[in-house]
């Protein structure tokens, strides 16, 4: 009975996440279409409020490469992420200091695939749901899927990740 309830709960969670992802994708497509209609009607230059979504996706790709491609013998997963994040978000990402007496655990992570779904909140803010597939040493032949939510803001003329939340982690 518990297995049936657990499987039902997991299925419901997967359906809910799928609906959220589909909603974000539809909302993003509608926003792009809306912007294209306005641009063609105005027949003028692109305004400053238009966001280059391609550059945001590239930015997210670079960020995920930093935090999902690492070997702890060389660096910690969060080292290098500070240039993509606000100080507030970076402090949340970085774990609490570890005692020097504890042995360092060697781990290696390898990024496999990144898919971004995002939408413009306003000209200086974008929300994104990012699906990430990666492998982690010690997990055998399994891949791990993270679903994360990011809030990006424009700070000092460039995009910065202001919020980073892991929504789900699944092992395949």
Question: Would residue 19 count as lying in a domain?
Answer: no
Indicate the pLDDT class of residue 62, thresholds 50, 70 and 90. Answer: very high
Strands (E), 69-143: 70-71, 108-122, 125-136
Would you say residue 171 has pLDDT above 90? no
Give me the number of domains the chain comprises.
1
Question: Would residue 38 count as lying in a domain?
Answer: no
Q: Which residues of 101-135 are buried (b: 16+ CB within 10 A; e: fewer)?
A: eeeeeeeebebeebebbbbbeeeeebbbbbbbbbb
Question: Would residue 92 count as lying in a domain?
Answer: yes
Q: What is the CATH number of the domain that holds 164?
A: 3.10.450.540
| pTM, 2 dp | 0.65
Question: Would residue 4 count as lying in a domain?
Answer: no
Structural domain that includes position 143: 50-171
Residues of the chain by 3-state class (helix, strand, coil), percent to 5: 40, 35, 30
Nearest C-alpha neighbor of 169 from the set 125, 128, 139: 139
Q: What is the mean pLDDT of residues 143-163?
A: 92
Question: Would residue 122 count as lying in a domain?
Answer: yes
CA 48/CA 54 separation, integer angstroms: 16
Task: Give percent above pLDDT 70 in the chain.
Answer: 65
Would you say residue 64 has pLDDT above 80? yes
Per-residue pLDDT tens digits for 109-124: 999 999 999 899 998 9
């Amino acid at each position: 009975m518990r297995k049936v309830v657990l499987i039902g709960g997991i299925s419901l969670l997967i359906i809910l996440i799928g609906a959220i992802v589909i909603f974000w994708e539809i909302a993003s497509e509608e926003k792009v279409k809306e912007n294209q209609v306005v641009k063609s009607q105005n027949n003028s230059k692109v305004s400053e409020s238009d966001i280059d979504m391609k550059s945001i996706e590239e930015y997210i790709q670079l960020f995920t490469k930093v935090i999902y491609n690492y070997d702890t013998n060389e660096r910690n997963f969060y080292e290098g992420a500070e240039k993509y994040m606000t100080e507030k978000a970076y402090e949340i990402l970085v774990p609490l200091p570890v005692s020097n007496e504890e042995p360092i655990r060697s781990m290696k992570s390898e990024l496999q695939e990144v898919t971004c779904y995002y939408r413009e909140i306003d000209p200086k803010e974008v929300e994104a749901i990012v699906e990430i597939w990666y492998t982690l040493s010690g997990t055998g032949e399994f891949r791990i899927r993270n679903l994360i939510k990011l809030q990006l803001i424009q700070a000092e003329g460039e995009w910065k990740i202001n919020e980073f939340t892991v929504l789900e982690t699944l092992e395949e």
